[in-house]
Amino acid sequence: MKYDRAEIMKAAWVIVRRFQGNGETLPALLSRALQSAWGTAKAEVRVAVMAAQAQRRREALANRPVDEIKAEITCMENRSTLGHEGIQRLAELRAACHVAKQRERAAAELEQKRALIASAEGRFATVIFTKKDGTRRVMRVQPAKLKYHVKGDAACEAAQKAVKTRAARHPNLMPVWDTEAAAPRSVNLETVSRIAVNGTVHEYAIH
């Protein structure tokens, strides 16, 4: 992490102006002020680094499967003593378990929505979702028709790679065939609030 030398110098001069006239020469006072300002800056960096490390640790824990986190929680709860580090670890695990549960529930809901839309196959389905700009979108789709308008395995290697990369980075987006636009479009599964398919309507709360 880089230091903002201009800000450190400003902080040093604030100290100099505060203590000027106490009998110290200006060079001695400035030297002491710089030492103090640098000490403060280094302490702030250490705190920021520690906070970033703690955040990465929490994210890594929350990305583990819920069952795996629960198993470690049970193991720690069964210990006769934990100590300060053990208590801190247990608190982190419990918080991570909560986040992991939310993540897995959200992922399961995305897959349910994807499966429902795909189940229409050659028939029509109506999907209501919120676009990136916040507007409500009602789209009539025909899932099976999409395969006749994309190259798939016949596409060049670069195009196939781009599709896979996009799917990995944006698992919430589902490519569909928009019957009204007569063109391929993407549905944001995260913001889908309603799916009408096979004679049944499915409603979802958007958080």
Range 20-26 average pLDDT: 88
Band of pLDDT at residue 2, cut at 50, 70 and 90: confident
CA pair distance 56, 72, nearest whole angstrom: 19
* pLDDT > 80? residue 153: no
Q: Which pLDDT value is given to residue 155?
A: 42
Range 136-141 average pLDDT: 94
Q: Report residue 171 as tokens.
A: 């698992």
Band of pLDDT at residue 21, cut at 50, 70 and 90: confident
Secondary structure (3-state) at 128: strand
CA pair distance 20, 80, nearest whole angstrom: 59
* pLDDT > 90? residue 38: yes
Band of pLDDT at residue 41, cut at 50, 70 and 90: very high
Q: Which pLDDT value is given to residue 151?
A: 53
Is the distance from CB of 174 to CB of 159 less than 8 angstroms? Answer: no
Instruction: State the pTM of this model.
Output: 0.64
User: Can you point out the beta strands (E) in the chain?
Assistant: 125-130, 136-141, 173-178, 183-188, 192-197, 200-203
Q: How many CA atoms lie within 13 A of 186 on its CB side?
A: 13
Burial of 75 (0-12, 13-18, 19+ CB in 10 A): exposed
Give tens-digit pLDDT for 76-118. 999 999 899 999 999 999 999 999 999 999 999 999 999 999 9
Sheet holding 192-197, edge to edge: 183-188, 173-178, 136-141, 125-130, 192-197, 200-203
Q: Where are the domains of the chain?
A: 5-106, 119-203
Is the distance from CB of 197 to CB of 125 less than 8 angstroms? Answer: yes
Q: Which pLDDT value is given to residue 159?
A: 47
User: Can you point out the beta strands (E) in 62-172?
Assistant: 125-130, 136-141
